[in-house]
Structures are given as structure tokens and as C-alpha cells.
Chain A
Amino acid sequence: MKKTIFSFFLITVFSFVFARQSSLNSSIERGKKLYEQYCLTCHQADGGGVPKMNPPLINTSYVTGDKQKLVQWVLKGSTESVPIDGKYYSNNMPPQAYLKDEEIADILTYIRNSFGNKASAITATEVKGIRAITK
């Protein structure tokens, strides 16, 4: 009996982990396609950006750090001359508020887990919540 309960517990844990992993993978997969469509021109195929013009998405707390700040960057874009990790980038970023919550979640989950980045996924629910408080 104990054995059965233990096996059941293990299967539950594994399937939970597996489901989580596969949903992460499919989010990254969808995010990659969306990245190519909406982001790649400026941030480049390798996520390395363009020196002085478009900031890199690699090795920066802007991408792997605070989720709210990152989601708002996508929703509002940027026309400010602000230093990013000590460097200035001149091109304006258009707001991407027209993207659906799930699309933004997929794109950001993709860039947070690509180009050498490793950070937690962002969910559509999180994007929705941040959009609601973003003007």
C-alpha cells in the first residue's frame, strides 16, 4: 500500500514537472516565431542588438531581472536617452501594446531563455496584470 502511494506521488510529481517543462518549451517555441516577426530586425538574430543603436538582450538585468519593468518596456517602448547597463542606444523602440498578453508572455519567455539567458517564464496572466496597471 505504501509502495502504491509512493509510486502515485512520484508519477504526479513527474507529470507535473514534465507538463511544466513542456509548456515552457512550447511557449519558447511560439516566442521564437514571434521574436522573428516583431523583434529580430532591431535586436538581431543573435539577440546581440546593434552597437549604439539597439540594445542587446544578452546578459542584462533588463531582460532577466524584474518582470514588470520588462513587460512595461515592451508595452510602452522607449524614446528616452537613458543608459542601459552604462551604454546609450539611439533608436526609438515602438510600443508593442497591440500584441496579445499571451504573445508578449511567449516573446519574453523566449528571450529570457535564449542567447545564453536563463530566467523564469512570464505568463499571460502576469502580462495581463501588468498591462492593467500600466498607463
Chain B
Amino acid sequence: MKKIFFFTILFFILFVVANQSYGRSGKDTTKNTASGQLVPDADNAGLKLPNGFGAIVADTGLGAARHLAVTSKGDIYVKLEDLKDGKGIYYLHDADGDGKFEVKTGFGNYAGTGMAIRNGYLYASSNTDVYRYKLDANEKVSDTTPEKIITGLLARHEHESKSVVLDNDGNIYVNIGAYSNACQKQDRTKGSPAMNPCPILDSAGGIWQFKADKPNQTYGDGTRYATGLRNVVGLDWNTDINALFVMQHGRDQLHDLFPDMYDTKQSAELPAECMYQLKKGDNAGWPYIYYDQVQHKKIQAPEYGGDGKKEAGENAIDPVVAFPGHMAPNGLLFYEGNMFPEKYMHGAFIAFHGSWNRAPEPQKGFFVAFVPFKDGKPSGDWEIFADDFAGSNQIMSSNTAKHRPCGLAQGPDGSLYVSDDQGGTIYRIIYTGK
């Protein structure tokens, strides 16, 4: 009798142990290793990454996924430029820890670009307004009634999207893009003269500062923090030196408008897409000048009397980094995580949406770039960090790119999230090397 009891117990123990190890190895074949580490997708989500990095398709099917923000619990809020099932913001949650979001709920009946989290609030923008939602103890939006913070911002066809970022002193910064390419009387029209002074700059073509917690602010309540910025989509607050950094989309069509001054190759490369560090009152010079990254000079715009060589803009600030033209920087993030190697700490990631204005030359961009930083200044050259979003080496027409990087956000574990507004994918880039 004792023997039977003993064997029964033994079998029971063996059964439990076997089951447990089966369960664990079962999990191994999904996404987590036994130690609980994330496992990249076999094809790294189709991306080309530096050694030691991997990528996971965290979500797909979101459509025009613009900017995104991650809570301290690792959940994501993403802003959509096209409503999906009538909703413009999606909450994404990874319930089983495999790096893929199974829980998706939408709210907010407006489309837009801006998305940020600060001081217990989620901030979201349409093309004219900025809203916020209180986050509860789980960092979730339980009340989806928006509180309108800023209203009535200009959106006149071109460069309508409003990106937002917050500082540590209760301010929110909003990009108001210029509704023009080069401030000509007739936009993008060969031979149409420039308006001088450019009247757009009083209410657009810059970054405006508002209070983060005051409802229904309009232009009169805000401050034009910096001007002479044609269009900014990617921007971030650098917490290392407490300063605003923005990425400007440079002007288009130098060859189309001035074929005698610029050939198609020059027009594809110029002007630079610029990263600027902004202080209050700064002027980056648009539309009067552009930055030429080949000559390393601020050049007078041809609409304002320039010839491609004449320098101007003595009062305009210089860029911190100058990239090749038209690559469309839509996301900027200073990396403060612990997951990536030392080199990446405090550095800047830039999501380049990819060009259209380089034709007949091949298009360029469609990647995430990296610039190392030390003490708030670049400490080396820029490089491509994550590539092959477009799904092809040579893109002649930008509509053929399968994915286009747009927003960047850092997870609490140090993962880098990249949103894609063409293929509707959220990528999670992780470091698995030692």
C-alpha cells in the first residue's frame, strides 16, 4: 500500500515537472527565451540593422500611423492620420509579453499627427487643435473625453500636421508649418515672385509655445518660440541639456523653379534637411535662406535674389546637423534608455519618411538614422541605423515604398519603437548582442 502511494506521488511529481518544462519550452518556440528576453522576428521585421540588433513587428494594420508615445508600463498610444474604424488614437497592449500587441482599442474621432505623454497626461493633436487626456494609475486613458488645450491653429493645405513635445517646466511646443514651399506669391509656380517680407511667418513657419495645462489657448495665448522653419514634423526635448531640437523639412524644387541655376542632381541633394537646436527667439531663416550642406553655408534663396552661391542669413542660426535633401525627417528621439550599447546613449535617432522631390534621381530616405551626442552636441557623423523599410534598394517613385518611418518612441526597457504611416506597422527594435 505504501509502495503504491509512493509511486502515485512520484508519478504526480514527474507529471508536474514534465508539464512545466514542456510549457517553458513551448514558450521558447514563441517569442520569449527561458530568461524572459524578447526574441526578434526571424527576418528582423524585414529591416537591416547593425550587428546585435533585432526587430519585431509589434503591430500591423494601423494605416497612417504617425507619432506614438509609450507609457511607463510599456503600452503604446499611436496617433493616426486617417481614422481607423472611426478612431484617431489607438491604445496597444502586449498582454503576454511576446512583443506583439494583442489588445487594441481606439478612441478620439479626429485624425492627426502629434502624440506625447508628460506628467500624467496623454497629448494628441489634430491639424488645428491640441487635446489632452488624463492617464489613470495604470497609465491608461479611462476617460476618453478630450480636454482641448490649444485651438484654431492654421492648417492651409500644405504642411498641416501639428507635432507636439513638452518640456519639464509645464510648456508644450507645437509646430505650425508654413503653407507654402518658398513663400512665392503663387506657390510652386515658376516665375512667381517671392513675398517680401514673407507674411506667412506671423502665424506659421515656426514653433509656438503654449502652457501644457491651460484649456482653449489660441495664438494670442502662445508665444512664437522660434521662426523661419518651413515645416517641422520630428521634434524632441533634450533632457540632457534641457533644450528643444527640431528637424526641418527643407524647401523643394530648386531645379523646377530655377532650371538655369540648379541642375536636377543639385536639386535632388539641396537644400539640407536640418537639425536645429532652438532657443526662444531663434530664426532658422526660411524662406530667405537655405542651408547648403555641400558648401557648408547659408545660401540666399533664389526667390530672394540668390544665385546658388551668395551667402545670406547673418541673423539665422546654423544647423546642428545637415542631412542630404528631401529625405523628410518625420521623427526625432534622444535615446536615454539602457538597452542599447554605450555608443547610443544620449544620441539622436531620426526617422526619415523618404523623399519624393529627388526625381528624376532615385528617391532617398526610408530609414532611421543615428547621430551620436555628447553633452548635447553631436560627437560624430550621422549614420543609417535601421534600413530597408521601403522593401527595395532603389525607389524611383515614392509611392512604391512599402513602409515609411514616421514616429519614434522609447520603451521603458529601452526598446526603440518606429511607426510607419504607409504600411501601418509598429516596429520594435531591440538589442540582443552582448
Contact = CB atoms under 8 A, between A and B. Distances in A.
Interface of A: 36, 40-42, 44-46, 48-54, 56, 77, 79-81, 90-95, 98
A78 to B, nearest CB: 9
The interface centre, meaning the residue of B158, B160, B190, B356 with most chain A CB atoms within 10 A of its CB, is B356
Contacts of A95: 186, 189
B359 A45 contact: yes
If over half of A's interface residues share one DSSP class (helix, strand or loop), that class is named, otherwise mixed; here it is loop
Interface string B367-405: 000000000000000000000000000001111100000
Contacts of A40: 359-360
B356 A53 contact: yes
B158 A92 contact: yes
Nearest to B398: A50
B254 to A, nearest CB: 11
A94 B400 contact: no
A36 B400 CA distance: 18
Given A56-B399, A90-B159, A44 B187 contact: no
B399 A44 contact: yes
Given A41-B256, A94-B187, A94-B188, A46 B360 contact: no
B357 interface: yes
A49 B191 CA distance: 24
Interface string B186-220: 11111110000000000000000000000000000
Contact of A45 (B186, B191, B396): B396
B318 interface: no
A41 B253 contact: yes
Contacts of B398: 44, 50-51
The interface centre, meaning the residue of A36, A51, A77 with most chain B CB atoms within 10 A of its CB, is A51
Nearest to B186: A94
Given A44-B399, A50-B398, A92 B187 contact: yes
B158 A45 contact: no
B421 to A, nearest CB: 8
Nearest to B257: A94
B422 interface: yes
B127 to A, nearest CB: 10
Given A51-B422, A90-B157, A79 B187 contact: yes
A46 B396 contact: yes
A95 B181 CA distance: 15
Contacts of B399: 44, 46, 48-51, 56
A91 B398 CA distance: 15
A92 B189 CA distance: 10
A57 to B, nearest CB: 11
B157 A41 contact: no
Contacts of A56: 399
B189 A94 contact: yes
Contacts of A50: 356, 398-399
A36 B255 CA distance: 13
14 contacts: A41-B252, A41-B357, A44-B397, A44-B399, A48-B400, A52-B64, A56-B399, A77-B189, A79-B187, A92-B181, A92-B187, A94-B186, A94-B188, A98-B190
A44 B158 contact: no
A119 to B, nearest CB: 21
A32 to B, nearest CB: 13
B273 interface: no
Contacts of B186: 94-95
Contact of A46 (B64, B191, B400, B422): B400
Interface string B320-354: 00000000000000000000000000000000000
Given A48-B399, A49-B399, A92-B188, A54 B356 contact: yes
Contacts of A93: 188
A93 B158 CA distance: 11
Contacts of B189: 77, 94-95
A44 B158 CA distance: 18
B94 to A, nearest CB: 29
Contacts of A52: 64, 81
A80 B158 CA distance: 10
Contacts of B396: 44-46
A93 B184 CA distance: 13
Nearest to B187: A92
B296 to A, nearest CB: 26
Contacts of A98: 190-191
B359 A41 contact: yes
A45 B360 contact: yes
A56 B159 CA distance: 19
